[in-house]
Structure 1
């Protein structure tokens, strides 16, 4: 059985405020588009296909766009942790990172309500400190989705790694399931246009569809977990939503494919992984 996890990083304005240090009207308006146009288009597509998804939500987005957050929640999709204001944990002390994580959880839980507690986390920077996994484990989170040590097979995230010019120590396995990500399966490098070499963007949707179909077909040959990372302010453009619709149809036409939230897939993987460790 192949599992497809459609994930949406609802970065909204937090991406521009924190990651790109831009608070003027035009960059901020791109985040507003994600909340007010992109999210409704994504939710409509998911509803038409009757499939679940996971939304990674910074606390900043949760309190800034409560209507979009409520629409995601009320549609039954998973809401997961994505930092306080789309910041990197790298460079923080263990105490600083723990405090930031706790404030992020408290603010997100307060915005979602209904006795909510996140099951998982994705680093806004797709990067983690040597303390991050242990901090997630201590707070009862069951999965992370920020790393790349496998392509289509979850694994137990390691804690306490050490890397320098003299060698690499991977650390010890945790109880946190890693649902791996990949730049090849992220819409931002393909479509986002910024004055930075990594984000030249503006690729044709048909070209990206071909890439993603090829990645899915290989994953399906392995009966793996296909995790796609999307952003409402990027994928929410009309032709790109149509491309995502075509990709979903391609995947649904294949036998032995299920669509799942990341939390549900992490729960399926967790006991076998812990047992094998």
Structure 2
């Protein structure tokens, strides 16, 4: 279970919507979404990962305290929800390390993972995550329910793709089908038609989970407090969690825990 705790940063930076009403939607995630989500997770005994821009941590430290004191993981999600695409490597490195420093200053723990704002990476991103000592990323889509090691050094031309080498960074794949934004957030953007019923989304997510379960995979759901945080949607998410928990062998892990487990299994296979 992952939550991108963007607060005001996504509206200010990514969407370039700086008017009071637009920014208030991000504030909704702080005021209503986070308390409702944390209460639900506590009822279910589930630990989650909250990908958090440094801007959110800096401006809403009480929310970060509530998240960490409940045993949830805080991971990196940019300084101000900025995309790394097109940035010079030194600028991208500076933004990454500044975000890690700020999150550590607020939470007392250095993040172990990263999710790119807008789910997009530069050619340098994975190498920089490795340089920063991060253990995992969750921004790419080369599989659905099976983690893999992210590569560095891929080369794409009109004729062919030349794959690079595996890094030490575990990739937990994401998917638009497993993100609350396309289903619930209405905007003029064609991929955000939004305002779907909770029953429609429950059916879609349960179907995805059933496939992950059948394939012994890792089901990674991406939600946003300002979107999923409305009462009926949190109730739907809780019902989904209850159905997951009813299946034999299901574990709810933070991303950090899942990355450790994946690496341990990989090392055991190598030794074997």
Structure-2-length-normalised TM-score = 0.97
Matched, 1:228 2:206: no
SS in 1 for 2:221: strand
Superposition deviation, residue 275 in structure 1: 6.5
Deviation at 1:274, TM superposition (A): 5.4
Match for 1:36 among 31, 36, 47? 31
Residue in 2 aligned with 1:14? 9
Secondary structure at the counterpart of residue 208 of structure 1 = helix
Whether 1:162 and 2:158 are equivalent positions in the alignment is: no
SS in 1 for 2:168: strand
* Aligned with residue 192 of structure 1, among 185, 189, 197: 185
Shift of 1:276: 5.9
Q: 2:91 aligns with which of 75, 92, 96?
A: 96
Q: CA deviation at 1:259?
A: 0.5
Count of residue pairs brought into register by the alignment = 270
Structure 1 residue matching 2:191: 3-state secondary structure: helix
1:216 aligned counterpart, secondary structure: helix
How large is the Cα RMSD of the aligned pairs? 1.2
Q: Tell me, in whole angstroms, the C-alpha distance in 1 between the residues paired with 2:269 and 2:130.
A: 18
1:64-109 Cα deviation digits (max 9, x unpaired): 1111111001111000000001110000111111111111111111
How far apart are the structure 2 equivalents of 1:49 and 1:275? 32
Q: Which residue of 2 aligns with 1:58?
A: 53
Q: Which has the higher contact order (CA 8 A, sep 6+)?
A: 1
> Counterparts of 1:60-209 in structure 2 under 5 Å?
60-113=55-108, 116-209=109-202
Note the C-alpha offset of 1:142: 0.5
Which sections of structure 2, spanning at least 5 residues, go unmatched? none
Gap change, CA 1:96 and 1:276, over 3 Å in 2: farther
Distance 1:201 1:163 in 2: 34
CA distance in 1, matches of 2:153, 2:83: 18
Q: Which runs of 4+ in 1 moved over 6 A?
A: none
Q: Indicate if the aligned counterparts of 1:161 and 1:171 stay in contact, CA closer than 8 A.
A: yes
**Structure 1 counterpart of 2:212:** 219
**Unmatched 5+ stretches in structure 1:** 1-5
Distance 2:83 2:157 in 1: 20
Contact 1:15 1:85 in 2 (8 A): yes
Q: CA deviation at 1:271?
A: 3.4
Corresponding residue to 1:256 among 232, 237, 249? 249
The corresponding residue for 2:258 is 265
Structure (1/2) with the larger strand percentage = 1
Alpha-carbon distance, 1:170 to partner: 2.3
1:170-192 Cα deviation digits (max 9, x unpaired)? 21100111111111100011001
**Distance (Å, rounded) in 2 between the aligned partners of 1:274 and 1:11:** 35
